[in-house]
Amino acid sequence: MLLHMLKYDFKIMMKNKSLLFWLIAFPIILGSFFHLAFSSIFDTEFQADAIPVIIIDDEGAEQLSDIMGQVESDGETLFKTEMLSYDKAMKKISDNDAEAALDPKSLKLYMSPDGSSISQTIVKQFIDSYRINTSIITEAYQKDPSKASEVTERLMSDISLIKRGELTEGSLNIFDQYYYNLVAMVAFYGSLVGLSTACRNQANLSASAARKASSPLRKSTAAASGLLSAFFAESICVVSSISYIIFVLGENLGKELPLVYLGGIAGGMTGVSIGYFIGSVGSLPENKKSSIITAFTMTCCFLSGLMDASMKLKIEENVPILNHINPIALISDMFYCLNIYSDHKQYLINLVSVLAVSAVFCALTFIFTRRKKYASL
Amino acid sequence: MSQTIVKIDGLVKRYKELTAVDDLSLEIQEGEILGLLGPNGSGKTTTINCLLSLLSYDEGNIEVFGSKMTPDNYKAKAKIGVISQNVAVFDELNVYENIDYFCGLYIKDKKLRRQYTDEAIEFAGLNDFKKFKPKKLSGGLLRRLNIACGIAHKPSLIILDEPTVAVDPQSRNRILEGIEKLNRDGASIIYTSHYMEEVEQLCSRIIIMDKGKNIASGTKEELKKKVNITETIKAEVRNADEETLSKIKQLPHITSSEYDGKLLTVKCSGGKHNLIRLIEVLNEHELHLGRVYTELPTLNDVFLEITGKQLRDKED
C-alpha cells in the first residue's frame, strides 16, 4: 500500500502547477534577475572614471580611505576618496560634487540627491561588503579563535568587489549571499509542499482527504507516504535550482558541490516538515494556511537578506536571536559556513540542527494526527 | 434473517450552541436502502461524518458491522464505500488514476485492483473518458467519477451523501439506476438527499430528519399514512369567483383549497368521487376547465404535516 500511495502522491505533487511555479519557475526567474542585475552593475564602460567618495574626517577615516583606494576594477582604481570635515562633506554632497560621503565610525552613508544611481549602488555594495567582512573577523574570533588570524589575513589581502577575490578558500562576495538566500528560500518553500501534503491527508482540509480518512488506510502510512514523496519532490526542486544557479548562471556557490546539494536538500526537508505540521494542526482552510506560510517565508527571506544583503548583519547587530531562529537564515548560513570555514564543523552543526528541526516537526505531526477525529469538517 | 450492519444509538453532536444532531437513533439492515431525507442543515451529513468516525460527537454510540466505530476500526472501514456531497477526486490525476488510487486504499492485489478499476469505469460509463482530467469532465460525469471512486472496491455498505446535487436529469437517472444495481448486487445503502422524488424511488425505508432529529421513519407507504391528505386535485381554471371557491370549500372531505388565478389546488382527506364533485361545481358556474389531474400525497406533504414547512428550499 505504501508504494501505491508513494507513486500517486509523488505524481500529484509533480503535476501541481502552482507548486512547481513557486519551487522551480520562481527561483529561476529571481536567480536570473539577480544575475542580470549584478552583472550589469559593474559595466566596464561605466567604470572608466573613479567614483568620487568623501570620507568624513573621524576615527578610522585613514584606514577606510586606504582600503577603498585599493579597490580595483580591471586594473583601474574604483573609488577616488577625499577626507573632509562633516560640514564640508555635507556641502559637497548637497552641491552634487561627490556621489557619497561615508562616516568611517558608524559606516553611515550619505548620498548625493542628484548622483548616479549605479555609482551610489556600488558605494553601498562596497560598504555592505566591508561591514560583512569586518563581521566575519569578529565572528571567526568567537567561533574559532585559532583560525581567526588566518581569515583576517585573507580578508585584508584583497577586498575587490569586481574580481570577487577569494578571500578564504571559498568566496566572500556579498552577491553570493543573495544566491544562498535564494536556495534557502527554495528549500523553505518546501513548506508549501508540506502543506499540500497535509491537505491530502487531513479530512478537515479537503474532500479527498475525508475520503481517505474513511478508508482503512492507516494515518501513519498516509503520513509516511506523503512526507517521503514531499521530501523527494522538494529535493528535485532544490537540486534543480542549485544546478541552475551553478551551471546555467555560472555563479559560485562553493567548491564542495555535494555538500551544497546536501544542505539544500536538508533545508527542503525542514521546509516540508514545518509546512506539514502547519497544515495538520488548527482548523484554518488551506488558502489561509498557504497565505500564512508564504508571508512567513517572505518575511524570513527579507530578514535573512534576500532583498538587502546587509539586513542579516543589521539583525545580528540589533536582534541577534532572530538570526538563530529564522529557518532561512539557518539554511543560508549553512552555505555561508561551507564557504568561509576550511573545516566542516560549523556546517555540520547547522546541518544537524536543520535535520533535528525537521524530525521534531514530523514527530509532532504524527502525535497530533494519530487517531484524530475532527470537531467540524 | 437480515443482519443489523449499522446501529446508531442516541447520537448527539453539538457545534457550540447549535445542536446539529439531537438524540438520533437508527438501524440499517443488511440489503436495505435507507434514505435520510431532510432539508439542508437538518443534520444528515453530520450524522454520516459521525458514522464514519471523521467527526467527534458529544453523546451516543455507533456500531458498524457489529463493532464500535472508531478512527482505527480498519476492519469496518474496509467494508464501507463513501460518496461524499463534495466531489472528492484529485485534479492532477486522470479518471483511471483517480479510481485506481482510491481502490488501492482497500485492495492490495494489483491484478484484482486493475480488474475492479475497469469494472468501476464500466459501471459509471466512463470508458470514453479514462484519460480525462476531472476539470475536463462535465458536472454529471464528475459526479459519476466521484461515485466510481467510492464503489470500486465493492463495499458491503455504501454511503451516498447527496450524490446528485447539481446534476442534469439524464446523469441523475443514470446515477439512480446505478445505485439500484449496486443494491441488487448485495450492497446495503445509506442515501441522504433533500430530493424526495429520489428517496421515494430508491429507498426501502426512510428517515425524515429536521433540526437534527428523526421526526418520522418507516416505508414510504407507512409515512404517507401519517398525513391527513389522501389526494390533491389540481385544475386549470380561469375567472373563478369567490362564490365558486366558497362552494368548493364546503364540499365534503375538502381540507383546503387555493387559487392563484390560473390553477386551483384542492386537498382532500378521504372520501370518494371528490374529483367528480369538484368538476360539477365548476360546470355549474360555467367555468371552462383546462388540464385536471390528481396527485397522491408526497413525502413533502408528510414533512409539511409534521413541521409546518416545505421540505425543499424554494431555490432547489
Question: What phi and psi values does residue B72 have, to the nearest 5 degrees?
Answer: -110, 25
CB B290 within 8 A of CB B235: yes
pLDDT in tens, B115-162: 999 999 999 999 999 999 999 999 889 999 999 999 999 999 999 999
Whether residues B54 and A373 touch (CB distance < 8 A) is answered with: yes
The pLDDT of residue B105: 96
The pLDDT of residue A40: 62
The pLDDT of residue B316: 41
Share of chain B above pLDDT 90, in %: 59
The pLDDT of residue A163: 34
The pLDDT of residue A42: 53
The pLDDT of residue A304: 81
CB A31 within 8 A of CB A175: no
Strand B33-37 and strand B188-193: the pairing is parallel
- The chain-wide mean pLDDT, for chain A, equals 80
What is each CA distance from A32 to A253, A254, A298, A308, in whole angstroms?
Answer: 15, 18, 19, 17
pLDDT in tens, A248-290: 988 877 778 899 999 999 999 999 999 999 998 888 888 899 8
The pLDDT of residue A195: 93
The pLDDT of residue B87: 94
CA distance A301 to A329: 8
Chain B positions in Cβ-Cβ contact with residue A1 (cut-off 8 Å): 104-105, 108
Residue boundaries of the structural domains of chain B: 4-224, 231-296
Rounded average pLDDT over A330-335: 82
Has residue B315 got a pLDDT over 50?
no
Has residue A153 got a pLDDT over 60?
no
The pLDDT of residue A174: 57
For chain B positions 230-259, those within 8 Å of chain A (CB to CB) are none
User: Which residues are CB-contacts of B19 (< 8 A; sequence separation ≥ 6)?
Assistant: B12, B13, B211, B212
CA distance A2 to chain B (A): 10
CB A8 within 8 A of CB B93: yes
Say which amino acid occupies B197: E
Chain B positions in Cβ-Cβ contact with residue A377 (cut-off 8 Å): 49, 54-55
CA distance B55 to chain A (A): 5
Whether residues B71 and A5 touch (CB distance < 8 A) is answered with: no
The pLDDT of residue A147: 60
The pLDDT of residue B61: 96
Chain A positions in Cβ-Cβ contact with residue B15 (cut-off 8 Å): 375-376
Chain B interface mutation, best of A13, A215, A218, A369, highest count of B Cβ atoms under 10 Å: A215
What is each CA distance from A158 to A153, A215, A277, A317, in whole angstroms?
Answer: 9, 65, 46, 25
Has residue A169 got a pLDDT over 60?
no
Whether residues A206 and B88 touch (CB distance < 8 A) is answered with: yes
By C-alpha distance, which of A289, A329, A293, A286 is closest to A311?
Answer: A329
CA distance A99 to A110: 9
* CB nearest A373 (choices: B15, B53, B105): B53
Give the number of beta-carbon pairs within 8 Å between A and B. 86
Rounded average pLDDT over A355-364: 90
pLDDT in tens, B50-109: 999 999 999 999 999 999 999 989 999 999 999 998 999 999 999 999 999 999 999 999
Range in A26-35, B7-16, B304-313 the model is least confident about: B304-313
- Choose between A109 and B96: higher pLDDT: B96
CATH architecture of the domain formed by B4-224: 3-Layer(aba) Sandwich (3.40)
pLDDT in tens, B285-298: 888 888 999 888 88
Chain A positions in Cβ-Cβ contact with residue B78 (cut-off 8 Å): 215-216
Q: Is B13 on the interface with A (CB under 8 A)?
A: no
pLDDT in tens, B8-66: 999 999 998 899 999 999 999 999 999 999 888 899 999 999 999 999 999 999 999 99
CB B98 within 8 A of CB B142: no
Search chain A and give the residue with CA nearest B108: A1
For chain B positions 38-67, those within 8 Å of chain A (CB to CB) are 49, 52-56
The pLDDT of residue B46: 95
Search chain A and give the residue with CA nearest B147: A211
For chain B positions 90-119, those within 8 Å of chain A (CB to CB) are 90, 92-93, 97, 101-102, 104-106, 108
- Choose between A90 and A316: higher pLDDT: A90
Q: Is B299 on the interface with A (CB under 8 A)?
A: no
CATH architecture of the domain formed by B231-296: 2-Layer Sandwich (3.30)
Most confident of A126-140, A326-340, B76-90, B255-269: B76-90
The pLDDT of residue A112: 77
Has residue A171 got a pLDDT over 80?
no
pLDDT in tens, A133-143: 776 666 665 66
Placement of cell 536538500 in the chain: A265
Whether residues A215 and B84 touch (CB distance < 8 A) is answered with: no
Has residue A338 got a pLDDT over 80?
no
Which pLDDT band, with edges at 50, 70 and 90, does A318 fall under?
confident
Chain B positions in Cβ-Cβ contact with residue A208 (cut-off 8 Å): 88-90
